[in-house]
Homo-oligomer: A and B are copies of this chain.
Amino acid sequence: MKEWARQKAARKARIEAGSRHARGKAVAVTDLQDFLEAVLQPGDRVCLEGDNQKQADILAAALADVDPAKIHDLHMVQSGVVLPEHLDIFEKGIARRLDYSYSGPQAARIARMLFGGQIELGAVHTYLELFARYFVDLTPNIALIAAVSADADGNLYTGPNTEDTPTIVEATSFKGGLVVAQVKEIVDKVPRVDIPGDQVHFVVAAGKPFYVEPLFTRDPAAITETQILTAMLAIKGLYAPYGIRRLNHGIGFNTAAIELLLPTYGEKLGLRGKVCTHWALNPHPTLIPAIEAGWVEQVHCFGSEVGMEDYIRARSDIFFTGPDGSLRSNRAFCQTAGLYSCDMFIGSTLQIDLQGHSSTVTASRIAGFGGAPNMGSDPRGRRHPSEPWLKAGAEANPDTPAHMRRGRKLVVQIGETFGDKNVPLFVERLEALTLAEKLKLDLAPIMVYGDDVTHIVTEEGIANLLLCRDRDEREQAIRGVAGYTDIGRGRDAKMVQQLRERGAIRRPEDLGIDPLDADRRLLAARSIKDLMLASGALYAPPPQFRNW
C-alpha cells in the first residue's frame, strides 16, 4: 500500500520533536538552537524569511548556530540573501544549495562563495518567479518567518512589513511544512491578523523587533543637477506624451528626482491628475511632496519603509492599511500589479550594452535581481488596453492592423552616462557574460533584456528604442545618448542625426528643455528635513538620515 500522507506525518513528527523545546507554540530564544536541531532534517528545503527589507534575524542567527553534523545540506529558497548569517550557513556546511532573488549587501561575498564552489546555485530569480516556484517545485519544508507580534494561538501581526510572509506561509503550511515565526512579543490579542494561527506552528518571542533596512530612502540633498536634468527629460519627454498614470519607480536618485519634480516642474507643465496617479511602489519618502500636492490617488506597496509608519497611517486614502491603521504591504500582489497593471517601469542599472541589455552584476558582485526582471518585462498575457500601452505598441509595430496589435509596456532605463566613481554606464560587453562563463551558468544574469527596454534616458537625451527598426538603429540610438563614454564616442554621427530627425533620439533642446534650468531649486524637497516638514512631521526619518 502506498502512503499518501507522509508529509503530514513528517510534520506531526516535527511538531512533536519541537514541542519538547516549547511551551504550547512558544519557543524561548535560549532554546532556539536545540529547537531547530529537533525540527530540521538534513536536506530540508528551507525558506529563511529575508527579502530586501525585513529579516527573520533571530532565526537566521540560530540557524547559523546549529550543529552541521546534525543539520546539513539544507536547500535554501528565499528572496533575500542579505544578512551575514545567510551565507555563514553555507560556509559552515549547514546549507548547500541556494535559490534566491536578491543579495544587495552580500553581493561581493556571494560572488566569492559561488566562485569557490561553497554554494550550489539553483537560480537567481525575480521575486514573483521564486514565489511561483514555492507552489510548484520549490515548496519549503520549513519556513522561518518574521512578524511583529503573535497571540497564544499563533495568530500573527506583521505590521506594515507584511511583504513576503503570507506567500511563504501559504506555500509551506498547506503542503505539510512547518512554520516557525519570530516576533517581538506574544500578546493577548494582535492588532490585526495578518496570518491565521492555524497556519503557524511555533512562535519565538525575540524581545526585540526584527531587523529592517530603510532601503528606499533617498536623501534629496544628494541629488545632482544632472539627475534633475534626466528627471525633467523623463517627465516632459515620456510621462507627458504617453500619459503615464499607472507606474512603478525603481530605487535610485534619478527616479527620486522625478518624484520631487512632480509638484514643481510637473505642475508647471500642467500634468497633475494626468500622470503618476496610481503606483505600485514602496512608500518612498521622496513621494511625500507629490502626495501632499494632490498628485497621487493610490499606492500599493511591496513592503514598507522605516520612518513612514505614521505618515501612512495618516494618509489611508492613499495607502492600503489595516483596521489597526498601519500599512498592509504584500510583495506578491504588488509584483503582480507591477507586471500586469502598470504601464511603465523606470529604473536604473549599472551597465547597458549596445543592444540595450542591462545588468547590475559585475565580475565581483552578484546583487541579484529583485523585482526588476518582472516589472521590466513586457507582459504578453495582458489584455486590457490603455493609452500609453497602445501608443507604445503602435510605435513598435506601425504596420500591424490596430486591433491585432498588442500594446507595449514602457520599460525605461534612466541614468547618467558616467555613474558612481565615474564608471561609464554603457559598455561593449556586460560583465554578467564573463561571470556566466566563469560559473558555467546556462543563462547570463541579465536584469532587463534589450528587447524589453523601450527607452533609455541620460543627460544627453532620450533614446526611443520602439522607433528603431533594426539592430543597427538600436545600437546607434543607444550610442546617441551615451555621451562621452567610449560607446558614445563610437557613434555614427550621421545615423544619430537621422534618428534624431525621426524622434528616435530626443535631445533636451528638442523637448524645449534648457539644461541650465536643471537646478536643485526645482526639487520640492532638498533634504530629508524638508521631507519631514512636507509630511507635517509625520515622517520620522531613521537616525542615519538625520543631520539636524
Mark A residues whose CB is within 8 Å of B: 2-8, 99, 122-126, 128-129, 131-133, 135-137, 139, 155, 167, 170-171, 174-176, 192-194, 196-199, 245-246, 278-280, 294, 298, 300, 314-318, 320-323, 328, 330, 332-334, 336-337, 339-342, 357, 369, 373-385, 390, 402-407, 433, 436-437, 441-446, 449, 452
A383: contacting residue among B131, B390, B443, CB under 8 A: B443
| Residue numbers in B under 8 Å from A194 (CB-CB) | 196
Are A174 and B132 touching (Cβ within 8 A)? no
Are A137 and B298 touching (Cβ within 8 A)? yes
Q: Could you show 24 A-B contacts with beta carbons less than 8 Å apart?
A: A99-B384, A124-B383, A125-B383, A126-B381, A129-B340, A131-B340, A132-B336, A132-B339, A132-B340, A135-B337, A135-B341, A136-B279, A137-B245, A174-B321, A175-B320, A192-B198, A193-B196, A357-B404, A374-B381, A377-B380, A380-B449, A385-B443, A390-B442, A404-B433
| Closest CB in chain B relative to A97 CB, distance in Å | 13
Are B136 and A246 touching (Cβ within 8 A)? yes
| Residue numbers in B under 8 Å from A339 (CB-CB) | 132, 381
Give the interface centre of A170, A317, A336, A373 by most chain B CB atoms within 10 Å. A336
Are A137 and B443 touching (Cβ within 8 A)? no
A316: contacting residue among B5, B128, B373, B384, CB under 8 A: B5
A444: contacting residue among B2, B196, B373, B404, CB under 8 A: B404
**How many angstroms from the CA of A416 to the CA of B6 in the assembled complex?**
41
When A136-B337, A320-B175, A449-B406 are in contact, do A123 and B197 touch as well, CB less than 8 Å? Answer: no
| Residue numbers in B under 8 Å from A132 (CB-CB) | 333, 336-337, 339-341
**How many angstroms from the CA of A402 to the CA of B90 in the assembled complex?**
30
A4: contacting residue among B316, B336, B404, CB under 8 A: B316
When A123-B384, A383-B129 are in contact, do A170 and B136 touch as well, CB less than 8 Å? Answer: no
**How many angstroms from the CA of A373 to the CA of B382 in the assembled complex?**
7
| Residue numbers in B under 8 Å from A341 (CB-CB) | 129, 132-133, 135-137
| Residue numbers in B under 8 Å from A336 (CB-CB) | 128, 131-132, 135, 332, 336
Q: Which residue of B lies closest to A444 (CB)?
A: B403
Known pairs A132-B341, A137-B245. 7 more at Cβ < 8 A?
A: A4-B314, A4-B318, A132-B336, A136-B278, A137-B246, A192-B198, A193-B198
Q: Which residue of B lies closest to A279 (CB)?
A: B136
| Residue numbers in B under 8 Å from A449 (CB-CB) | 380, 406
Are A316 and B170 touching (Cβ within 8 A)? no
